[in-house]
Structure 1
Amino acid sequence: MQRKIFFLPVLLCIFASAQAQSSLSVDYIMRDPKWMGIFPSAPYWSEDSKQIFFRYNLENDPADSLYKIDLAKPNQISKVHWSEEKILRKDLATFNQDESLRIYKEKTSIQLEDRRKRTKTTLFEWFDPISNLQFMANENLISFNSGSNFYIFDRSSKNIRKVTSIVNGSKPSSPAGNAGAKISFLESENLALLQVVRDRKNAQNQSQKYRESVREKTSDFVFYTEGKNLSNLQLSPDGSFATFSVFTPASNKNTKVPDYTAASGYTEDLNTRPKVGTQPNKVIIGIYDLKKDTVYYVTTSNLPGIKDLPDYVKDYPEKTWEEKERDLTLSGPYFSPDGKRAIVQVRSFDNKDRWITELNLTSGELKTLDRQRDEAWVAGPGIGGSFGGGTLGWLPDSRHIYFQSESTGYSHLYLLDVLTGEKKALTSGKYEVFDPKISKDKKSWYLTTSEVDPGERHFYRMPLMGGKMEKITSMTGNNEVVLSPDEKQLAILYSYSNIPTELYVQENRAGAAPKQLTSGQSAEFKAYSWRDPQLVRFPAQDGAQVPARLYLPDPAKKNGAAVIFVHGAGYLQNVHKWWSTYFREYMFHNLLADLGYTVLDIDYRASAGYGRDWRTGIYRHMGGKDLSDQVDGAKYLVSAQGVDTGKIGIYGGSYGGFITLMALFNHGDVFKSGAALRSVTDWAHYNHGYTANILNTPEEDPIAYRRSSPIYFAEGLQGNLLIAHGMLDVNVHFQDVVRLAQRLIELGKDHWEMAVYPVEDHGFVEPSSWADEYKRILKLFNTTLLEESK
């Protein structure tokens, strides 16, 4: 034994000296990202379309500040003083239909700006806070909300009238009713003894009854909130209706995350999210009829399929399923430009249905215009979530609505005629649409799509009622466009696979040449030749072609080992031709390739960018196709890239950490080692919004949770496992890996270790933590995947 202990370091030294080298190191690449340079974000235009503002950091400030470029002097980047920045963001500014007029609040006055004449007029003074300042359908009228009530200002008469009467509180009890209330002994005796006092009291009661009877007949309608929490107050553009939402929060138990390094010196608890299976928050919509002086609520009982049971109930034949109306969330209403119509989006809490409905404003009834049913879950680009959002609105004709749907398997843009019910697809094909917006002249759409390639994003123009799309951007990669107010120019945040984001400007026409405005890479960063990873596809066992990024080593340095990276978030795309949000991992993959490793980064089933079937491929079985895609990736590395069987590792964070655990617990014959970072180990302990979409709830669908949670498969661990987790993780709680660690201990498993990070949340912040974690990952791979070379 002593000879072995003495001899092993000698072999390791010989082995280390024979390894391929890299100019990169973990400490080097995991420094504060500022070493890479400065890169722009969040651009927007000045109102005259002559300047571009963006977040930047030329002066090494603690955080990015606001900078600007004047297009008349495109080579000059200047920092914006806080006083100028304050002026740029006019409070509550809103425009009329053709954007020739703008209204906004300036201190206590409401200002009207004529943008063509370049004049400014004070409309009126208002000393209380206001919101929802807007032009009405008749643009001579301006409405606003103040103190939970709506007011309308008439620009011709200069009059302001209050159009709603909403009182936060309960309706007061009738004073007349109090007159008959039980009186005290002393008052009773006094009235019985003194005739004059008794007569005056009777006269007072009669007078009060008369006044109350007259007031009841002549007083205005008052809506008392009765303790309800009103939000999203809106006034219809024609001034006929006001609407509001009533939000009732659910009472769900939150979890606690201990902070052992709190500044107080005491262990303090962080109050964090509930676990999956929570009760829903409830939202209903109220309608205030301003002509009839009455309030009523939107009814949902006539929605088609509101009582439909999910398909998975067939897996539980022993259980009796109650047929009842499902819990719903409502968003809207969204009023037509003329104010005559409104639509409401309704989603089932189980997220298997989305109804787009027309609201009958006089009765509160809903008429279904489009129902999107998905036995997995309704989602996708532009489709929004449980509380609305996404692409939804009206065309200027107040007859057609637009929205996005995955009805063809990819998220596309649709029009629907609310009078005839006719639905028309404006885009189609095996690609997805992002952020469609109507041009100012109301004749065109501007939209971004992945039509060229799933790994590219380009900006297009298309006729309003559909037709040929005109591609405006040309640079290969990601083109994130902000259109100038005059719609003559594009501000573009552009990046490529090995080129971080820079700011460009381009004329708004096809074929125009983009001009680069920023160049932020540091000399240090540019000194290394960063790889442009190959985009490849390999066959999955079910016949699908799985996209991946491939990093190849120099053939002379190739060591026969490979590492598979699993991106986090599940629904995220990392196989593309632009600068990755996983830039640290990207640099680490360059380091691995320098050392002779082949690296594969897979957009497995559930990843974004490939349509509905890819997105929902993990429904009711996380660790199913998403895991088999990793196994098939390993087979591809062996068959097509010359990687040695038995020398493949895997790693990833969050969802990637979960997949790493499932890989080592279920496919120890394929993966020799793995690093599971901030990993989910039991989906019953994760949040509701994400997990319930994919696995339903643990109470209703325990089969899905049992086959999807790594903690139930820990007995299968064969290889070498590193677990790393931040102790302040309020997303995937540290409790996850604590429970798994105890399970591994009880199973008597060897060859695993755990690294904890006491001051880190889910996403690490400190460079020292990043460096420590990735040095452990590199050591794991070097000592386990390359040990056969000793």
Structure 2
Amino acid sequence: MQSRLQKLIPLFILFSFQLFSQESSLSVEKIMQDPSWMGTFPSNIRWSEDSKTIYFNYNLQKDPSDSLYKIQLNAKDQIIKVDRGEQNLLTGAGNYSKDRSKKVYIKDGSLMLWEAGSKKDRMILDLGERISDPHFLFDENKISFSMNNNLFVYNLKAGNLEKLTNIRSGEQQEKDAKLSKKDDWVREENLGLLEVVRQREKKKEDSDAYRKMGDKNAFTFYTGKKTVSNLQLAPNGKYATFNLLTRVDNKRTEVPNYVDASGYTVNLPTRTKVGDDYSKVEMAVYHLEKDTVIMIKATNLTGIKDLPDYIKDYPDKEWEEKERDVIFTGPYFSNNGEHAIVNVRSRDNKDRWLAQLDPQTGDLKTLDRQRDEAWIAGPGIGHSFGGGTIGWLPDNRHIYFQSEESGYSHLYLLDVTTGNKKALTSGKFEVFDPSLSKDQKHWFFTSSDVGPGERHFYKMPVMGGPMQKLTTMTGNNNVSLSPDEKNMAILYSYSNKPWELYVKSTKANATATQLTSGQSEEFKAYSWREPELVQFKAEDGAMVPARLYKPQANVNNGAAVIFVHGAGYLQNVHKWWSSYFREYMFHNLLTDLGYTVLDIDYRGSAGYGRDWRTGIYRHMGGKDLSDHVDGAKYLVAEHGVDEENVGIYGGSYGGFITLMALFNEAETFKSGAALRSVTDWAHYNDGYTSNILNTPAEDPIAYKRSSPIYFAEGLEGNLLIAHGMVDVNVHFQDVVRLAQRLIELKKENWEMAVYPVEDHGFTEPSSWTDEYRRILKLFNDTLLEQQN
């Protein structure tokens, strides 16, 4: 028996050595070096006005940064670097006339006009001041623009300039204040004696009179301490609208920079914390003919006093039913300027109203109300300070917008004269970036109709109808349509292929032609995996999407690593090149070494509709964490993973989930690396956090059950914390407070790596390399220790 055992021991040692010492042609150093090693890939696609040339950022010559390149449709095999002279001739972003024959834009502070007839642009105004936001009015011979917080109109035919508003900061001063008899006598005597002073005073009076003559048709509005923004003129020239912002000076966190070039510690002023007082946004309408200013009122909006559902968890607190604070964006005027709608968001994030504005009274009439007891968001719906899909059809009767009313973000029309609403798209998919065709008879948009893991470009009749899919390549097709709409420039990628540029005529049956091929030989030398898209059942019965990386059977070490993407509301389970490309390459390395890797689109992720998006409401670390626990169980049950050797890691929101996993699910996760992680949501920002958890003062229950620092006593496994010291997003203070908590709890199985020069998103290859060496060592040392 002893001799047989002696013979078996060397074989076992050899087998263990072979199993544990799997190798890969990849290394952390290789993956985390400057991304330029991968090659050069196009970005920021744009077309020439004549639709004959595609411009894009690229780097064929290994310059310090990307430069502007072009490909002409009549010479698709030539990629040409654009020189400075040609760059200066390109038109900038601007606004077109209705038939797109003219375009007005700003260049070097001057007002520029491009005309299709001459195919040239020309400067029409240079006033020596910063001009912004030019638009054609309904009479397209007139152009409105803003300068020095005031509105002007330039008449192309007459060549004259008219100032429409006279908005001034500060308070109105008393005019022509009367001097005392003594002061009046002193002034007159002084002017009588000193000729130069008298001439200067006369010149000043003449200058003031001339300036006021130019302002004779403009009202004077004093803003006090408020700031003016979003100044615009109705297309018919009858109304001017603007926002007034009253800023609040909340206390801000200061992040010390210990490695400033000066040699001194420099404090970086950053954001405030969630729940601080917020700035007030008002909207005003100026009626030019009546010379009156009216403030827009939200009083008549449906449900303006509604209280949120979560108040039931606080029965001892008195809740006042009052008109809620709102944020106005718009107005959005019909093409003829006769109608206007305003987008209104409640400050508590529960409501989005589209309302018709009566510019005579400032009253709003509710046209559409989207209420969500979690929070309003989703593709095309925008955020508190605007954005999103909203506008008018050319009939000056229908507005279009996106809404999650059905559970998925779809495109809608609403007739403002009848109130009738119609869904133009429907189904368990989402719509992205809809725009009207040049002739305004069709829609162009991107959607996930094929499946959440793909993006394709579609065309559809303006009043709804069949969706015609114009792209065919499996993955993500990010389309930039040529101005004449005859061709599509497509940024395309697949899960194991970075972005490249293609061109295709705007027809369903046309073939796309590849224009760039930027992968380096070194990058192409490795056979990058195509992760398998899988689903597993969560504890509540939901099917959770994930990316699976499976090692070959002969190298499988039985251990698993689960990756948690950041941002919360982000999609990473798809068939295109991930924005987490470093992590994707790291997962290839881990798989080479024998690990099974799972990357989950947990509750709260983008791409799966409203219910998935809001699954974390009032409890971060609830369903989003249990999805990862269920993912680990799935790996054990279906893929032979040892339940004793499961690790987890991620950055930002992924770091937060990693902490919650190590603190609350010690039986599931043996080790974890928490990178740039939130440890206490009461210390994060308002714009993101108050959507999901409300505010700490109003909903402390949500914050206490969602913040890892309250659960640190549950740490049993092995924890690596990594954080940049000049992180102005998730402050270094977060992990400093957690470290003190772990010290006080006498926890020993944790360590912290700090990066003095790094913000939230690392930029230095040396930092990336150091961080991921530590992550790999953590997993090798702890998840494979039983095999040593």
TM-score (norm 1): 0.92
Tell me if the contact between 1:722 and 1:780 (Cα under 8 Å) persists in the aligned partners. Answer: yes
Q: Which residue of 2 aligns with 1:224?
A: 221
Q: Which residue of 2 aligns with 1:421?
A: 419
Q: How does 1:301-340 map to 2 (within 5 A)?
A: 301-340=299-338
**What SS does the aligned partner of 2:165 have?**
coil
1:161 is aligned with what amino acid?
E
Q: Tell me how far apart the structure 1 counterparts of residues 271 and 658 of structure 2 sit (CA, whole Å).
A: 25
Q: Tell me how far apart the structure 2 counterparts of residues 119 and 739 of structure 1 sit (CA, whole Å).
A: 60
Tell me if the contact between 1:352 and 1:377 (Cα under 8 Å) persists in the aligned partners. Answer: yes
**What SS does the aligned partner of 2:635 have?**
helix
Q: Which residue of 2 aligns with 1:673?
A: 671
Q: Is it true that 1:739 corresponds to 2:704 in the alignment?
A: no
- Taking a change above 3 Å as real, the CA distance of residues 174 and 265 of structure 1, as seen in their structure-2 partners, is closer
Tell me if the contact between 1:154 and 1:160 (Cα under 8 Å) persists in the aligned partners. Answer: yes
Q: Is it true that 1:51 corresponds to 2:48 in the alignment?
A: no
C-alpha distance after superposition, 1:368-400 (max 9, x if no partner): 111111110000000000101000111111111
Tell me if the contact between 2:164 and 2:217 (Cα under 8 Å) persists in the aligned partners. Answer: no
Q: Which residue of 2 aligns with 1:770?
A: 768
Q: Which residue of 1 aligns with 2:69?
A: 67
Q: Which residue of 2 aligns with 1:206?
A: none
- Taking a change above 3 Å as real, the CA distance of residues 238 and 639 of structure 1, as seen in their structure-2 partners, is same
- Taking a change above 3 Å as real, the CA distance of residues 414 and 182 of structure 1, as seen in their structure-2 partners, is same
1:50 is aligned with what amino acid?
K
Tell me if the contact between 2:501 and 2:514 (Cα under 8 Å) persists in the aligned partners. Answer: yes
Q: Tell me how far apart the structure 1 counterparts of residues 787 and 120 of structure 2 sit (CA, whole Å).
A: 79
Shift of 1:54: 0.3
Q: Tell me how far apart the structure 2 counterparts of residues 272 and 108 of structure 1 sit (CA, whole Å).
A: 30
Q: Tell me how far apart the structure 1 counterparts of residues 123 and 400 of structure 2 sit (CA, whole Å).
A: 37
Q: Tell me how far apart the structure 1 counterparts of residues 749 and 524 of structure 2 sit (CA, whole Å).
A: 40
2:101 is aligned with what amino acid?
S
Q: Tell me how far apart the structure 1 counterparts of residues 40 and 668 of structure 2 sit (CA, whole Å).
A: 41
**What SS does the aligned partner of 1:318 have?**
coil
Q: Tell me how far apart the structure 2 counterparts of residues 778 and 302 of structure 1 sit (CA, whole Å).
A: 59
Q: Which residue of 2 aligns with 1:86?
A: 88
- Taking a change above 3 Å as real, the CA distance of residues 535 and 186 of structure 1, as seen in their structure-2 partners, is closer
Q: Which residue of 1 aligns with 2:534?
A: 536
- Taking a change above 3 Å as real, the CA distance of residues 20 and 219 of structure 1, as seen in their structure-2 partners, is closer
2:460 is aligned with what amino acid?
M
Tell me if the contact between 1:276 and 1:688 (Cα under 8 Å) persists in the aligned partners. Answer: yes
Q: Which residue of 1 aligns with 2:435?
A: 437
Shift of 1:750: 1.8
Shift of 1:15: 4.3
Shift of 1:154: 3.8
Tell me if the contact between 1:287 and 1:296 (Cα under 8 Å) persists in the aligned partners. Answer: yes
- Taking a change above 3 Å as real, the CA distance of residues 782 and 131 of structure 1, as seen in their structure-2 partners, is closer
C-alpha distance after superposition, 1:335-377 (max 9, x if no partner): 1100011111111111111111111111111111111111100
Q: Which residue of 1 aligns with 2:519?
A: 521
Tell me if the contact between 1:167 and 1:222 (Cα under 8 Å) persists in the aligned partners. Answer: no
Tell me if the contact between 1:627 and 1:659 (Cα under 8 Å) persists in the aligned partners. Answer: yes
- Taking a change above 3 Å as real, the CA distance of residues 30 and 146 of structure 1, as seen in their structure-2 partners, is closer
The equivalent position to 1:30 in structure 2, one of 24, 29, 32, is 32
1:787 is aligned with what amino acid?
E
Q: Is it true that 1:97 corresponds to 2:98 in the alignment?
A: yes
Q: Tell me how far apart the structure 1 counterparts of residues 184 and 540 of structure 2 sit (CA, whole Å).
A: 91
Q: Which residue of 2 aligns with 1:42?
A: 44
- Taking a change above 3 Å as real, the CA distance of residues 340 and 593 of structure 1, as seen in their structure-2 partners, is same
1:145 is aligned with what amino acid?
S
Q: Is it true that 1:456 corresponds to 2:454 in the alignment?
A: yes
- Taking a change above 3 Å as real, the CA distance of residues 618 and 474 of structure 1, as seen in their structure-2 partners, is same
Q: Tell me how far apart the structure 2 counterparts of residues 264 and 106 of structure 1 sit (CA, whole Å).
A: 36
2:645 is aligned with what amino acid?
K
- Taking a change above 3 Å as real, the CA distance of residues 680 and 151 of structure 1, as seen in their structure-2 partners, is closer
Tell me if the contact between 2:274 and 2:686 (Cα under 8 Å) persists in the aligned partners. Answer: yes
**What SS does the aligned partner of 2:734 have?**
helix
Tell me if the contact between 2:287 and 2:360 (Cα under 8 Å) persists in the aligned partners. Answer: yes
Q: Which residue of 2 aligns with 1:754?
A: 752
Q: Tell me how far apart the structure 2 counterparts of residues 108 and 634 of structure 1 sit (CA, whole Å).
A: 57
Over the aligned positions, Cα root-mean-square deviation in angstroms equals 2.4
Q: Which residue of 2 aligns with 1:201?
A: none
Tell me if the contact between 1:381 and 1:433 (Cα under 8 Å) persists in the aligned partners. Answer: yes
Shift of 1:13: 13
- Taking a change above 3 Å as real, the CA distance of residues 221 and 583 of structure 1, as seen in their structure-2 partners, is closer
Q: Tell me how far apart the structure 1 counterparts of residues 433 and 759 of structure 2 sit (CA, whole Å).
A: 31
Q: Which residue of 2 aligns with 1:202?
A: none
Q: Which residue of 1 aligns with 2:602?
A: 604
Tell me if the contact between 1:223 and 1:295 (Cα under 8 Å) persists in the aligned partners. Answer: no
C-alpha distance after superposition, 1:33-59 (max 9, x if no partner): 111111110110111111110000111
Q: Tell me how far apart the structure 1 counterparts of residues 270 and 149 of structure 2 sit (CA, whole Å).
A: 32
Q: Which residue of 1 aligns with 2:10?
A: none
Q: Which residue of 1 aligns with 2:131?
A: 130
Q: Tell me how far apart the structure 2 counterparts of residues 364 and 427 of structure 1 sit (CA, whole Å).
A: 33
TM-score (norm 2): 0.92
Tell me if the contact between 1:497 and 1:577 (Cα under 8 Å) persists in the aligned partners. Answer: yes
Q: Which residue of 1 aligns with 2:163?
A: 162
**What SS does the aligned partner of 1:38 have?**
coil
Q: Which residue of 2 aligns with 1:588?
A: 586
**What SS does the aligned partner of 1:75 have?**
strand
- Taking a change above 3 Å as real, the CA distance of residues 111 and 645 of structure 1, as seen in their structure-2 partners, is closer
Shift of 1:89: 3.0
1:326 is aligned with what amino acid?
R
Q: Which residue of 2 aligns with 1:506?
A: 504
1:79 is aligned with what amino acid?
K
1:452 is aligned with what amino acid?
V
Tell me if the contact between 2:91 and 2:105 (Cα under 8 Å) persists in the aligned partners. Answer: no
Shift of 1:183: 4.8
2:586 is aligned with what amino acid?
F
Q: Tell me how far apart the structure 1 counterparts of residues 741 and 364 of structure 2 sit (CA, whole Å).
A: 52
| Structure 1: segments with no counterpart, 5+ residues | 1-10, 192-211
Q: How does 1:219-368 map to 2 (within 5 A)?
A: 222-227=219-224, 228-368=226-366
1:46 is aligned with what amino acid?
S
Q: Tell me how far apart the structure 2 counterparts of residues 558 and 672 of structure 1 sit (CA, whole Å).
A: 18
2:436 is aligned with what amino acid?
I
Tell me if the contact between 1:553 and 1:598 (Cα under 8 Å) persists in the aligned partners. Answer: yes
Q: Tell me how far apart the structure 1 counterparts of residues 415 and 430 of structure 2 sit (CA, whole Å).
A: 23
- Taking a change above 3 Å as real, the CA distance of residues 85 and 269 of structure 1, as seen in their structure-2 partners, is same
- Taking a change above 3 Å as real, the CA distance of residues 509 and 17 of structure 1, as seen in their structure-2 partners, is closer
Q: Tell me how far apart the structure 2 counterparts of residues 172 and 127 of structure 1 sit (CA, whole Å).
A: 28
Tell me if the contact between 1:298 and 1:366 (Cα under 8 Å) persists in the aligned partners. Answer: yes
Shift of 1:20: 1.4
Q: Which residue of 1 aligns with 2:656?
A: 658
- Taking a change above 3 Å as real, the CA distance of residues 700 and 103 of structure 1, as seen in their structure-2 partners, is closer
Shift of 1:142: 3.0
Q: Tell me how far apart the structure 2 counterparts of residues 499 and 447 of structure 1 sit (CA, whole Å).
A: 24
Q: How does 1:628-667 map to 2 (within 5 A)?
A: 628-667=626-665
Q: Tell me how far apart the structure 2 counterparts of residues 594 and 219 of structure 1 sit (CA, whole Å).
A: 77
Shift of 1:784: 0.8
Q: Tell me how far apart the structure 2 counterparts of residues 12 and 777 of structure 1 sit (CA, whole Å).
A: 26
C-alpha distance after superposition, 1:475-508 (max 9, x if no partner): 0000000000110000000000000000000010
**What SS does the aligned partner of 1:74 have?**
strand
C-alpha distance after superposition, 1:257-285 (max 9, x if no partner): 11111122221111111111111111111
1:97 is aligned with what amino acid?
K
1:702 is aligned with what amino acid?
P
Q: Tell me how far apart the structure 2 counterparts of residues 417 and 49 of structure 1 sit (CA, whole Å).
A: 35
Shift of 1:237: 0.6
Q: How many residues align?
A: 753
Tell me if the contact between 1:357 and 1:366 (Cα under 8 Å) persists in the aligned partners. Answer: yes
Q: Tell me how far apart the structure 2 counterparts of residues 473 and 532 of structure 1 sit (CA, whole Å).
A: 21
Shift of 1:428: 0.3
Shift of 1:128: 4.5
- Taking a change above 3 Å as real, the CA distance of residues 346 and 509 of structure 1, as seen in their structure-2 partners, is same
Q: Tell me how far apart the structure 1 counterparts of residues 248 and 762 of structure 2 sit (CA, whole Å).
A: 31
